[in-house]
Amino acid sequence: MQFIEYSVRGVIIFSPRRHGDSRGYFVETFREDLFSAAVGPVHFVQDNQSMSAEVGTVRGLHFQLNPRAQGKLVRCLAGAILDVAVDIRRGSPTYGQHVKVELSADNGQQLWVPPGFAHGFCTLEPNTVIAYKVTDYYSPEHDRGLRWSDPALAIDWPVAEDKAILSAKDRVQPLLSELDADFIYAV
């Protein structure tokens, strides 16, 4: 398994090795020992899956407040997404900066989004299916978001703001300057 780190500390791409032959391929999509060696001890408690029918569907940017913050290990099972993680840790030298990566069924890569980051994605193909492991259960009272199209984030999304397919909730999320998140950067 290959690991790729970014200048935004904590976000990591995992590229599992595919072993293929004429029948197709086999891949270990998760190994706790290798994952923990790269990010530290993590305990996943829930697996989630979503399907987005149309290209240009944006989900996010989402996170949960402490003490129910979630780390996420995201992968694409069908289709493709532009996956984005935004640093919302107060005091971080990369506060408000983001990592974006294309995850697809073809490339098999996975993105680790640690607690303290807002996460979202935009579909690049129809009928895209993503799956992700999380480190805490969904908690409606801790559920928060950040406006996906906030100009301060400078995310180059593959869909125009007026063409994006969004939930009602994601249309009214706060800007970074209005964010009331309780994450503190730890060196």
What is the predicted pLDDT for the residue at 116?
96
Q: Is residue 183 part of a domain?
A: no
Averaged pLDDT for residues 108-127: 97
Q: Is residue 26 part of a domain?
A: yes
Q: pLDDT band for 1, please (50, 70, 90 cuts).
A: confident
| Residue partners of 59: CB distance under 8 A and separation at least 6 | 50, 52, 120, 121, 167, 170
Mean pLDDT for the chain?
A: 94
Phi-psi region of 101 (alpha: psi -120 to 50; beta: other; left: phi over 0): beta
Number of domains in the chain: 1
Catalytic residue among 6, 25, 43, 62: 62
> Is 62 one of the catalytic residues?
yes
Q: Is residue 184 part of a domain?
A: no
**Tens digits of residue pLDDT in 45-103:** 999 999 999 999 999 999 999 999 999 999 999 999 999 999 999 999 999 999 999 99
Q: Is residue 143 part of a domain?
A: yes
Averaged pLDDT for residues 157-184: 94
Q: Is residue 185 part of a domain?
A: no
> Is 132 one of the catalytic residues?
yes
Q: Is residue 186 part of a domain?
A: no
Host domain of residue 26? 2-178
Residue 187 has pLDDT above 80, yes or no: no
Q: Is residue 126 part of a domain?
A: yes
Q: Is residue 30 part of a domain?
A: yes
Catalytic residue among 6, 95, 132, 185: 132
Element (H, E) at 35: helix 32-39
Torsion angles phi and psi, residue 110, rounded to 5: -130, 145
The CATH number assigned to the domain holding 126 equals 2.60.120.10
**Model's pTM, two decimal places?**
0.94
